[in-house]
Amino acid sequence: MSHQDLAEHMGSLVGLLSLFAGISGFLLWRMFARMERKLDEIAQLCCECQREYIGRFLSKEEYRNERDAMWGAINNHSHNSTGRVVR
């Protein structure tokens, strides 16, 4: 089989390869578009969750103050004769 015999099929082969490349590119684009949409949806849900729960949790500074007060109470306490904690 010589190269001249295959030359007549090169046009259809290139056409098929470009068709498959186009279909693959479209499916890849569609997959990325759907993934981007899902990531945007997740980000929006997280922002709503943060706004909803912002009043329920302590800020970092409030947490630090509460934590320091708790450790101060633990480290600077004593016990009376009955075993109860006295500050």
Give me the phi and psi of 43, to 5 degrees please.
-65, -40
55 belongs to a structural domain: yes
Q: What is the pLDDT of residues 29-79, one digit of tens each?
A: 999 999 999 999 998 888 887 777 777 776 777 777 878 888 888 888 888
pLDDT at 17 over 80: yes
Going by C-beta distance under 8 Å and a sequence separation of 6 or more, which residues neighbour residue 85? 77, 78, 79
Query: Where in the sequence is the domain holding 65, given as residue range(s)?
Result: 10-78
Residues in a beta bridge with 6: none
**How many folded domains does the chain comprise?**
1
In a domain, 58, yes or no: yes
**Separation of alpha carbons 47 and 39, rounded Å:** 12
Tokens describing residue 29: 């684009």
* pTM summary value: 0.48
65 to 40, 57, 87: CA distances (angstroms): 36, 14, 18
Residue 85 lies in a domain: no
Q: Are strands 85-86 and 78-79 parallel, antiparallel or unpaired?
A: antiparallel
